[in-house]
Structure 1
């Protein structure tokens, strides 16, 4: 039996082939790392729950997309039904960094008039000597795209948990502000059987003041 969750967020991982999307997901969901990874064919599915705040459990439905061009027609159908995206590049592969804008533009065009919450991920931070992208460059790109930037290593389990948690928290905060909500015909956000009623911050404060419990 599944653990009860208040909300489900569908998250999609985006980026060139071999940047390490699958290894990030396996580390986050299963706590394991493998040097051997077959290229993703089409889309793979993972899931894990996070406790965002006391009494609020978020189920993350995670979709690992193929980075190869020949699978784009398959993966684009998943863009519209996602609320969050991890834009992943390989810190040792300059071209994968240069392609981030293309991934961001492609997804944005497919989901209009709606928007997606992104985090930019510089992966394989453990390979210090092979590094080809400076942190300053990546942070500048993140600022231009209006997203957070996190450097991760699935091999060393560095910042993997933090990256997914930051994205989930950003989505949840936008829900509390009323900018994102579950809607019919969209799988990006789903409410569970025990959904928490979200109120704007000002109204929440007033409710707490008037609570006599």
Structure 2
């Protein structure tokens, strides 16, 4: 059995863990039915994808409201992909879920092309467009444009889908902007220096832990002690 893939490595790990049934199948079974070829691996991955997707969509009922979150990235093979997620409240458990649905390969990154990919996917997954009440993207003009952006095109088909600038992108932009401040840069530098000061010495680390764990050290609440000990 070749060891050139993660899949084969996982099978070997299972055998090493004592899975004798799997070992017997791979060592004594017919060579044309070991089910370890690349095509079988891809088929297994596809079946897993379908199972996970059906489990997610199975939580929906006709009245479930949801929001969409989309971002684009280029993978290792230099293919532009859209990452589609949905955020919703499970009607049965009343818990908030934020689930990944699919990577959507795309050649064009125009507002119309991206909106078409999103709408086609929602229809393919049989998610009612009228139940979409929110959409979150980055702040790029092709996504956030009021008149011609992706969000405006989506809103034509999903009139209740209000656009919000993705909070993760907004936080990232805020951090980038804050780092231009000399005071913020100095603060991070001081924190790094203090951390390095203790991490570079086992004695200093021990002394710090001793001070934190002192029972009479009541000015540090328990949660802060745990956080400090993990630094």
The TM-score normalised by the length of structure 1 is 0.31
Larger RCO, structure (CA 8 Å, separation 6 or more) = 1
Instruction: Please say which structure displays the higher CA radius of gyration.
Output: 2
Question: Which structure: greater helix fraction?
Answer: 2
Task: Name the structure where strand makes up a greater proportion of residues.
Answer: 1
